[in-house]
């Protein structure tokens, strides 16, 4: 739990303390963090392992950590011209995600996490996933100049994710 402006956040879960004594917590009900943790619960243990080695000082932090051992499978892969690609939204407010059918996830030694410092100087885990860092989807508030280029050659392996059927398209929306 974390105290924000004198009030304890209802869904905050304390994860770990950094090497410089900053508490890192997460609201495990927020998307996409909740989805990533529910699909890979061991991410919480891996996150704790990494956080305990960090000196956190910046307002926002993106950490790509090589765990030096296999830790799971990344759903984001490089695509080829002959891949079956489609686009859809995972949630009503989410941008379109580029998906690939009939491909497999790839083994990875990396986890990536995004943290943000709160008003008390502690950190909230905003997201964590298996695999390397990547730019936000086109249309996301955190979109970068690299987003469209990256997502034109990479996609999320479709593995039964809950999609909004009315948004399904083969035409690139960006």
- For 155, phi and psi rounded to 5 degrees? -155, 165
pLDDT at 49: 97
The structural domains of the chain, with segments of one domain joined by +, span 3-167
User: 88-141, pLDDT tens digit by residue?
Assistant: 998 777 899 999 999 999 999 999 999 999 999 999 999 999 999 999 999 998
The alpha carbon of residue 144 and the mean position of all alpha carbons in its chain are separated, in whole angstroms, by 16
> Range with the lowest mean pLDDT among 9-23, 34-48, 55-69, 157-171?
9-23
pTM for the predicted model, two decimal places: 0.85
User: 42-95, pLDDT tens digit by residue?
Assistant: 999 999 999 999 999 999 999 999 999 999 999 999 999 999 999 999 877 789
Q: Hunting for tokens 């059927």 — which residue is that?
A: 165
């Amino acid at each position: 739990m974390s105290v924000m402006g004198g009030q304890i956040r209802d869904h905050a879960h304390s994860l770990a303390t950094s090497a410089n004594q900053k508490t890192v917590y997460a609201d495990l009900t927020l998307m996409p963090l909740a989805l990533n943790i529910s699909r890979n619960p061991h991410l919480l243990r891996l996150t704790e392992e990494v956080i305990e080695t960090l000196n956190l000082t910046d307002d926002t932090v993106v950490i790509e950590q090589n765990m030096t051992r296999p830790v799971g499978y990344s759903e984001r892969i490089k695509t080829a011209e002959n891949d079956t690609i489609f686009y859809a939204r995972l949630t009503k407010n989410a941008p379109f995600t580029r998906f690939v059918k009939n491909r497999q996830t790839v083994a990875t030694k990396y986890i990536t996490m995004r943290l943000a410092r709160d008003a008390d100087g502690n950190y909230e885990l905003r997201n964590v996933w298996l695999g390397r860092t990547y730019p936000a989807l086109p249309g996301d508030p955190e979109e970068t100049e690299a987003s469209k280029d990256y997502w034109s050659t990479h996609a999320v392996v479709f593995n039964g994710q809950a999609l909004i059927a009315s948004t399904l398209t083969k035409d690139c929306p960006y």
